A and B are shown apart, each in its own frame.
Chain A
């Protein structure tokens, strides 16, 4: 039984890759062909609609740096299909099995940052039968989620640079505004970053954590402490906390950029691989981050800036993307899986709605110290309602094989 399954997986992985387009050069016959021109500042897609079924994108790199092309789900985060590493003047194709719905197309010249030319893309028509082959679904999920992690780290590189530039330049108002936003991509994929044991402590340790382990206090929260100096003095009244000099600022900013770059290099290295369990357990881990005693719910994560709600939302988004990546697999597991999916769909929606009462990335979230204990309790209750079914996901997705 097990041998058969493994063999089946080996043969279908190639098919899945073709499906998600990573190595595809020949569009599936009968697919609708759409052309994409990626330049330094544009991502021209020849159509913004398609009919459900196989949809192919012929991507030409008309710019002068290596580029990537993504089709994103309606959350703008989850990757439905992508092609990367397209050299200048080269063309590559991406074919996706598209269900009716709303998507985005985006190019990423230089392979870092938020991407350019993000445009809505609509798929109309009938729902198509999804590939029920488990191995194919697994390969697709892992491929797309891995691409998502790389994308998020790519965005992190540029957003952290923008943030630290403002900080080093002494533009403190701007830096304070950018601080929570620069962290969003990190918070979405934190369990992956934590796989690289030495990086997370440097990038995201809180002051007590760093000191307890005898590490130099660096990273996001070191800068946070400097930018919200008044709060730092208040939080640690018995310590002699000094504001950093220009040289001190530059040192800690450079260190953070170096560490983020190291993270980027690691997730883009050839041997970076995630498993299905990494995805499902990562989703659970993200919510545990929120509820932890030094996490977002108690307001300890961002103890100086009180921007915890940005992190909270990003953790939930990250968990949602991971969940969505394996959702079809859970459904394919039968009644138990369908029940779990229905519950998780409901609870993710409710969690996001509960958080949306306090703001969003664009307009900002309210300072967490203005959120009353009663309101925090309500957020905590919803977090429990989401975390409890989510903790079943690994079993539902992997349980059958593991039980052998």
Chain B
């Protein structure tokens, strides 16, 4: 990535833009300004600013959606336990809200924390994030379809409050979904610049949930595979290609309203300003991909591997020209290439906001890497994802990937101080 230092060099200029978006606290601005003054390597300055960056928990929308994508993810899907009542769930959401507001400021889960409770008590906070700072932590909550339907929906008296489009995704070609990696009543997405900070958040929130909800599945992601700000260099996925070039950026306000946030007058009313989160665990057959010729890899993706430019020419952010043909009459961007099939131009203009992460879980007993992409997308209607995913049926990339996990969650709007996450659902 030879262009990386140049991009990070723009970091100080980015602070005011982040300030404009209302996503950064005063502490972060000060830290970034201080870092710039040291004149040390740009990468060091970036790391220092990352450690001190605070994304406030409270706001119109939940943080962790348009927030500049952090380097690390820990995502958890939880099921309510059999005995959990409506009051229990409300109590849990309140506890999660208070804890999240603290954690995102780099504080411990309670005032007593890891060492303030005396020697005879297990500490309230597990302590492994002491001294690591806020690390740009965001915590995002969502509600799965199973929370509203069946016996559980009846027990919680929220069956009539289900967002209309909240339903399990249909089965797609090449899905080999595993139940143990799919679904869930609740989800928590924790993103941070430090993996330990993200894991600490999930660990302590899980602890608060004991007796009310339990982890169904969880996923650690170690490298972002998309950017939500043009000042972030487009990251690469495990196939070595830049990913998320055509993503919706945080400053594309009109497109966010058009494609991500539910409308102010949408039904049910409590879900206005929310969004739908789709997660897909995608295994990549790394060894096969690594044996594919460079030319074939680029034909499959539809972009050049180094620059990320579309095969129709130009630079990374040059619009692809899907009509362009080579001398032999073939499309420059092949008909079955990933870019062509996934691009808004070929999906009725549909856009989604992606926040995926790489994952590596060691090697399986055949010695193959167990690795892939933990795909996360936010959209106003899950149909946006469904349409794009259906377009990908003939994607040449399908030879090298398999979807093994799938879930969809309704992400409620943000919460004001004094309220709690999802409050509108219960009032």
Contacts and interface: CB of A to CB of B under 8 A. Distances in A.
Contacts of A388: 207, 210-211
Nearest to A389: B211
Contact of A394 (B82, B121, B212): B121
A394 B121 CA distance: 7
B120 interface: yes
Most buried by A among B81, B119, B207: B81
Contacts of B122: 391-392
Given A350-B83, A378-B81, A378-B82, A384 B210 contact: yes
Interface string B197-237: 00000000001001110100000000000000000000000
Contact of B121 (A350, A385, A399): A399
Nearest to A380: B214
B240 interface: no
A339 interface: no
A347 B118 contact: no
A316 to B, nearest CB: 15
A377 interface: yes
A90 interface: no
Interface string B176-203: 0000100000000000000000000000
B117 interface: yes
Contacts of A394: 120-121
Most buried by B among A384, A391, A392, A398: A384
Contacts of B117: 395
Contacts of A28: none
B121 A392 contact: yes
Contact of B81 (A382, A392, A403): A382
A241 interface: no
A3 interface: no
Contacts of A402: 118-120
Interface string A369-404: 000010001101110111110011011001100110
Interface string B271-313: 0000000000000000000000000000000000000000000
A377 B214 contact: yes
Nearest to A378: B82
- Binding site secondary structure of chain A: helix
Interface in B360-374: none
Nearest to A397: B120
A395 B211 contact: no
Contact of B118 (A350, A384, A385, A403): A403
Contacts of A392: 121-122
A347 B214 contact: no
Contacts of B207: 388
Contacts of A398: 120
Nearest to B82: A378
A347 B180 CA distance: 27
B120 A385 contact: no
A394 B117 CA distance: 12
Given A350-B83, A378-B81, A378-B82, A385 B211 contact: yes
B191 to A, nearest CB: 25
Contacts of B120: 394-395, 398-399, 402
A385 B210 contact: yes
Contacts of B118: 395, 399, 402-403
Interface in B324-369: none
B50 to A, nearest CB: 33
Contacts of B211: 347, 381-382, 384-386, 388
A388 B83 CA distance: 17
B291 to A, nearest CB: 35
Contacts of A391: 121-122
Nearest to B213: A381
Contacts of A386: 211
Contacts of A378: 81-82
Contacts of B180: 373
A116 B397 CA distance: 75
Nearest to A403: B118
Interface string B62-97: 000000000000000000011100000000000000
B183 to A, nearest CB: 12
A282 to B, nearest CB: 15
18 contacts: A347-B211, A373-B180, A378-B82, A382-B81, A382-B211, A384-B210, A385-B81, A385-B210, A385-B212, A387-B210, A388-B207, A388-B210, A394-B121, A399-B118, A399-B120, A399-B121, A402-B120, A403-B118
Given A385-B81, A402-B118, 13 more contacts: A347-B211, A378-B81, A381-B210, A384-B214, A386-B211, A392-B122, A394-B121, A395-B120, A398-B120, A399-B118, A399-B120, A399-B121, A403-B118
Interface of A: 347, 350, 373, 377-378, 380-382, 384-388, 391-392, 394-395, 398-399, 402-403
9 interchain residue pairs of minimum CB distance: A385-B211, A395-B121, A381-B214, A384-B210, A395-B120, A388-B210, A391-B122, A381-B81, A394-B120
